Amino acid sequence: MLKRRRAYLLAIVAAAVLIFPWGVIQPRALDDLRNFVFDTFQRLAPRAYDPEAPTRVVGVDEKSLSAYGQWPWPRARLAELLDRLRELGAASIAFDFIFAEADRAGASQLIEAIADPRARAQVAKLVAKAPSGDQILAQAVSKAPVTLGVTLTNAVTAPPPAKSGVVTAGDDPAPFLAAFAGAVGPERKLAEAARGLGATNWLPDHDQIVRRVPLVTRAGDVLMPSLALEALRIAQGEPAIIIRSSNASGQTAFGKQTGVNAIKVGAFEIATGPNAEVRPRYSHSDAVRDISAKDVLEGHVARDEIEGRIIFVGALATGLGDVRATPLEPVVPGVDVHAQIVESIASGSLLARPDWAPGLEFVVAAFSFLLIMSLLFVAPPLVSAAAAPLAVAGLFAGAFYLFDRRGLLLDPSYPSLAIIGGYLFGAVTLWRSETSARRHVRQAFGKFVSPAVVDRLAEHPERLVLGGETRELTVLFSDLRNFSGISE
């Protein structure tokens, strides 16, 4: 028994050495497993799309391309689209396009394509006084609550100045934000005319699924709000956003700089991760959310579909290449992701992974590990064999409940691995210990007592104790009549 206990203790130590460092190191394999679990939760309980959501997506879809030709469209047509949306009462209009170059379909580009110098000069003279497509679009932008897209890059370029004011409370958020060297923004005239500029970037996992989107990023020294956050700011008529970081008033960080805690814009206070990122709870694609740009241009959209809403304008046609993958769907228009962020914020359904989550998961893993190892040693095999899967099922059920009801992302996979790993180590150790004890009994007594006795001793080796056993026995002595004569 002492030898068995010693072997089991060594098994506990060996299992702990193999399992517990995972909770401290947090390797990518564990992160992949965690993402798989959280993605599965989203697929089991996606956010239900609300047709009354405050967003709509006006998209350049296949129908629009068939009607108005290939992309990019002339800026004058985009100005017409913008004017239509403004007239329909859009509260905020965000373009998920980067107008970084001059209008390719403008008059100057068309004139340069004329081969005959004389004809080219005559046409240039005729259109010299006509405004360019960029001027027409800039004029339309200046009249509407427009946010234009900016893409942050690692190329060293001067980023456009942010349109929104930024107020910070607590620690400086800049070191915690996703940082880029520069940005590609819209043409200067367009940028000056717009009320807002928003970054279209997201934080990719290595599988390229969009799970986290930063609400604020940094281009050089410029703090740049996301396209969704800027559109939300403009819809409320707010001049600035407020970034609250660790050690701000009311934020307990015990002096440590842990990053960004929340971002406030107007009536919305948005809890974020330390890098100012949020995790949207996605809904499935819905035809109600998406409106064809062709229908808007031709006046086929009801006013109540646009009025008072945040409108994202982007590419819905798959051929335009702006597609993303979400936990729910492998192919989604990128502009839909921006709309779903605003929907998650407005409905209070953002997902949150608290900074204390890894610590809690480690504690639960350690407690579960010790509990299953203790139960395995003292309880009958069937009890411990049933306890392990029940404990794993309980962890997953509890984590799913917190996800579905509270929007919390707590990982049940690491504690479950601790339970499974501990059970396997303990079960194998006990099996080997019992097998070794039986083999030892058979070797020691097989030549001296009957096989039936050996089998009983092998089944219960604990009965082998020094000094034997004291029992009350009834012994029958008998004799054979005429045994002596028979023997002679």
What does the pLDDT average to over 14-34? 83
Q: Report residue 410's pLDDT band, with 50, 70 and 90 as the boundaries.
A: very high
pLDDT tens digits for range 332-378: 999 999 999 999 999 999 999 988 888 899 999 999 888 888 887 77
> What's the DSSP call for residue 446?
T
Q: Which of 206, 175, 176, 225 is nearest to 341 (CA)?
A: 225
As a whole number, mean pLDDT of residues 167-188 equals: 92
Per the CB < 8 A criterion, the answer to whether 118 and 69 are in contact is no
How far is C-alpha 89 from the geometric centre of its chain's CA atoms?
34
Q: Angle at Cα 64 formed by Cα 143 and Cα 298, nearest 5°?
A: 55
In tens, the pLDDT along 43-76 reads: 999 999 999 999 999 999 999 999 999 898 989 9
**In angstroms, how far is the first alpha carbon of the chain from the final one?**
53
Pull the structure tokens for residue 462.
Answer: 């604990």
pTM attached to this predicted model:
0.82
